[in-house]
Amino acid sequence: MRLLLSNDDGIYALGIRSLANALVAAGHQVTIVCPDGERSATGHGITLHDPIRADQVTGVFAPEITAWACSGSPADCIKLGLGAVLSERPDFVLAGINHGPNLGTDVLYSGTVSAAMEGNLEGIPSIAFSLGNYTSREFQPAADFAVALLAQLKGQALPPGVMLSVNVPAVPAADLQGVRITRQGIRHYNETWEKRQDPRGRTYFWLAGEAIEDIDHVDAHNPHLPDLPPTDVQMIQQNFITVTPLHYDWTCYGQVGALPQIGL
């Protein structure tokens, strides 16, 4: 299959190198368009007021891979790949493997998920892959699962407007408990702002904090959750690979008819 890959950790990140090389070894045709540096937590921003520059990168990936480093955001990379780099429409857009989880409400900030969502907006089946730990460098189980997932999805189109967000626990393959289809959990953060001074005496602030991992929000009155599937936050804690279907329609349909009439 023809695959377009991107990420938000940058062109030299180990995660995308592991993913791309595994996909090529499985016989896929891989093109990469990645940010030229770190773009984590940039969300779905795109560049409108500055030029986007792109340079071809060699010597980083398997020789069969065509790779470009882009000055823009992850979403820019997918737009550039589809509009200016590829001569044929890819069969899938893949993002990752992100160095760290994208669980629950993390997807609102994630550049990796946004890269996949950009492919989804263009009507291309798209998947974001994330490793459930910021310090682990063991990407191979996640890369192997990506290869297996693509093989299972071949010829089985995802529903229109739906992408998949996959989170893989950062454990050896032998310790993975299986795969679960999940819904988004909620990740709140204990956020702190550290006030600092630069060498010139000017004040600046640095956002820090830790995620609260064990929040499980269940809306028993939500008609769109009849079976209340487990959350991604729950399942990854039990060493399950989580596969969460996402879409770009944020409409809260349960409130469309429930809100009071609003007029001028």
Degrees (nearest 5) of the Cα angle 17, 73, 29? 40
- Sign for the CA dihedral angle at 114, 17, 150, 28 comes to positive
pLDDT on residue 23: 98
> Does some domain include residue 172?
yes
Burial 105-124 (b: 16+ CB within 10 A, else e): bbbeebbbbbbbbbbbbeeb
* Cα–Cα distance, 89 to 22 (Å, whole number): 21
The CATH number for 16's domain is 3.40.1210.10
> Does some domain include residue 20?
yes
pLDDT on residue 213: 58
pLDDT on residue 155: 80
> Does some domain include residue 207?
no
For 242, the token pair is 């989580």
The pLDDT averaged over each successive group of 10 residues in the chain (264 residues) is: 97 97 97 94 89 94 96 96 96 96 92 97 97 93 97 88 97 96 84 87 83 56 64 94 95 82 79
Other CB atoms within 10 Å distance of the CB of residue 229: 14
Burial 200-226 (b: 16+ CB within 10 A, else e): eeeeeeeeeeebeeeeeeeeeeeeeee
Say what the pTM is: 0.90
Give the residue numbers spanning the domain of 234.
Answer: 2-182+226-256
> Does some domain include residue 220?
no
State which amino acid sits at residue 122: E
> Does some domain include residue 199?
no
β-pairing, 54-57 with 2-6? unpaired
Where do we find the tokens 């995620």? 211
pLDDT on residue 258: 80
> Does some domain include residue 213?
no
> Does some domain include residue 206?
no
pLDDT on residue 153: 94
> Does some domain include residue 75?
yes
Domains held by the chain: number: 1
